[in-house]
Structure 1
Amino acid sequence: KEGFLRSETSLIQTIGRAARNSEARVVLYADHITGSMERAMAETARRRARQEAHNKEFGFEPITVISGVKDVLEGVTSKAAQGLLPKGRDPNRRGRSSTLPGMEEAGADYIGKGHNLTRVIDSLEKEMREAAANLEFELAARLRDEVKKLRDTEIGLGIEAVLPPAD
């Protein structure tokens, strides 16, 4: 049967994804070989021959890239460090409140004399990154949720950041 994920293009993409591993094998299960499968296998063979010729000409030895968990985490934490955080709702949007029910209460513990919401958020973000670096993902997720709740509260209450963001 041919269709959405069985089309020539989809099969080529799937087979190509497996080709990122130097020892990869692709197994296609079917009652009979469809036209899409035949064309995808032919295209894959053509590309493989071309790549092998290129590798031989320039002396390349294909290897599989192996990324550790910490390498993946560094990419995630660097986005947070660059300030690519979720944005709050636009209070100017018609018919929508800038605060959700309970948001004022969420930050009530941190607002008042001697408290700086920005400082608390920065501290929690630091703890979150440390937890993720130590592979304590459940703790990191809870801290992430708390930071989001506080950021939403900060936006909803119209609190201006007092301190510049931490590095």
Structure 2
Amino acid sequence: GRAARHLNGKAIMYADKITASMQKTIDETKYRREKQTKYNLENNITPTSLNKSLDNALAKNSVSTYHFIKEERRAAEPDMEYLTADQREKMIRTKRKAMEKAAKELDFMLAAQLRDEIKVLQKQE
């Protein structure tokens, strides 16, 4: 995942031996890197690192905003104790998508809250 987007393209794998899946990953990474390098050379592209500031992302997700959202969500959702198995699975999928979106948007507090809600739902199965 993330190592492929790193400017220097480094990833460290720890193991006693290289497994078939590790070798497949290494080969695929090598193939993609060669393909990307060729494309970059043909199009005169120099890879650069993003210089995004986390300050803005973290500032927009303040604790007060988080608590407001948390309370609003609680009132709008059905009581989890009375869900059917299908409803529970659907809610888990929905919450997982929302959690991944929140994490991608660096809203880690909301992502953690959703993760905890997913765990509660999974325990009820």
Q: TM-score, normalised by structure 2?
A: 0.48
Larger relative helix fraction: 2
**Considering only CA atoms, is the larger Rg found in Structure 1 or Structure 2?**
1
